[in-house]
Structure 1
């Protein structure tokens, strides 16, 4: 996923504004296909405007003036996630059109593997693009966990809230803001969550199997986040020891300099 200033000459405002248009078009199609109601329209519209505002501000702060190709893919994923959110909100805990919901979510999950490939092949990877990708993933997982919670229980919401709880904790605990090393296990666990939630929400599995599968997914997510928190805590201890050593060395150096001057 990426934003790259030199890839295109058109201002990024055209792309972000087109995202709102794409979202409204999808909502209109859902209205025609499954009778999307006012709550769904409101949810999808609010999500579209919020995405436009946040993305535009982020692009401005980064100094970027144009969109990269991978960001187009992620913006399409955001549009699909907005459609899923509209369907879930419109059902108000009832039974949304499962086939359409699963189809939108499945395409969004498939595209999750596309934007990264596009960014790498075009050399347009960036921190902003990676963050955009991550936020779309987190939102889609949150919506899917909310949908599944009505059939499996409110505990499923823990899957969707896990990352947001981690971010909230990092705002209070500075040591949790450190950079984590790359991890294939972390990526695998994260990718599995969406697949499991979609399958469980498709109503194709018996209740017991769906319950056990989602519970296993949650357990793996707890393990993954727990491992990262432990790594950050240990890294904090290492940094504290290193800082103590450096400060001690500076103190001894100051004493030696003082004695030499005397």
Structure 2
């Protein structure tokens, strides 16, 4: 009885095995190169953000808890990026993800400022600086998408990374609005609604369905950040800040309602 290599043809069998091994080795090297590229990019941003946090703490009434908050929050975000990296289909981390990671650094600085600056409400220059940083992060929101298209590096990984940074920024800004008494505690719903939607999907799987691309969804996201920035401006106080927050929350509720109805109307898979 012929052996397996003989039945396949000895040379064909060896050639097929060698080609498969070479392909596996190439994929391994590609993934390793991607990991090294991502680690180098994120490590550089992490160190740079830490240095900025130190410099800020020397010039503003912020203690070591500010520096710790920046580094810990950014380390957590970047750790999640590395955890999700296998879903990235390209050889390089990419310019688009670099911009998104830089925006994550800005979010970590914003978060630490909000929770550590005890006299934030009484310091106009701190509020204006905070608003300026957020507006800069918002201006970069379209840059990462442009770069992804420009260099053919679009991916679900990059889109999800960008979305999570936006969601966290909105949560931080809604927390700032609540702490500054710009609106009632209900303003936190602006930042928590997206996370509540995800949590509901854990117990109601129909909400985990895939949503089609939507300009309305992107527009509402930008409006939330813009509205919260307006609220944080020193001279915008209740009842005007409350009205802006209420309008932003209404738009967000409408957007989520549209998506939820779409998912509920989809046929149940059997």
The reply to whether TM is greater than 0.5 is yes
CA distance in 2, matches of 1:23, 1:64: 26
Q: Work out whether residues 22 and 79 of structure 1, in 8 Å CA contact, stay in contact via their aligned partners in 2.
A: no
Q: Does 1:164 align with 2:190?
A: no
- Aligned residue runs from structure 1 range 147-226, under 5 A: 147-150=176-179, 151=181, 152-226=183-257
How far has the Cα of 1:29 moved from its partner?
2.8
SS in 1 for 2:268: helix
Residue 42 in structure 1 maps to residue 85 in structure 2: no
Match of 1:23 among 25, 37, 49: 49
Q: Offset at 1:138?
A: 0.6
Q: Quick check: 1:230 aligned with 2:250? A: no
For residues 84 and 37 of structure 2, the distance between their equivalents in structure 1, rounded to whole angstroms, comes to: 14
Partner deviation per Cα, 1:136-183 (whole Å, 9 max, x = no partner): 101110000000012122111000001000110111111111111222
CA contact (8 A) 1:196 1:214 kept: yes
> Which runs of 5 or more structure 1 residues have no equivalent in the other structure?
244-262
**Alignment CA distance shift 1:125-1:61 (3 Å):** closer
Superposition deviation, residue 99 in structure 1: 1.7
Q: Find the counterpart in structure 2 of residue 103 from structure 1.
A: 132
Instruction: Find the aligned partners of 1:118 and 1:149 in 2 and give their Cα distance.
Output: 35
Indicate yes or no: 2:82 matched with 1:56: yes
Partner of 1:137: 166
CA distance in 2, matches of 1:39, 1:153: 27
Inter-CA distance 133–211: structure 2 relative to 1 (3 Å threshold):
same
Larger RCO, structures 1/2 (Cα 8 Å, 6+ apart): 1
TM-score for both structures, normalised by structure 2: 0.80
The answer to whether the Cα contact below 8 Å between 2:90 and 2:153 also exists between their aligned partners in 1 is no
2:83 and 2:45 map into 1 onto residues whose CA distance is 15
Q: CA deviation at 1:111?
A: 0.5
Q: CA deviation at 1:46?
A: 0.8
Q: Aligned residue for 2:108?
A: 82
Q: Partners in 1 of 2:259 and 2:103 — Cα distance? A: 27
TM-score, normalised to structure 1, is 0.83
Mapped to 2, the partners of 1:207 and 1:132 lie a distance apart of 34
- Equivalents in 1 of 2:193, 2:256: separation in Å? 8
Choose which of 136, 140, 143 in structure 2 pairs with 1:114: 143
Q: Is the 8 A contact 1:73 1:115 kept in 2?
A: yes
Number of equivalent positions: 234
Counterparts in 2 of 1:156 and 1:93: CA distance versus 1, 3 Å = farther
Match of 2:14 in 1: none
Tell me if the contact between 1:44 and 1:83 (Cα under 8 Å) persists in the aligned partners: yes
SS at match of 1:207: coil
Structure-1 separation of matches of 2:91 and 2:78: 15
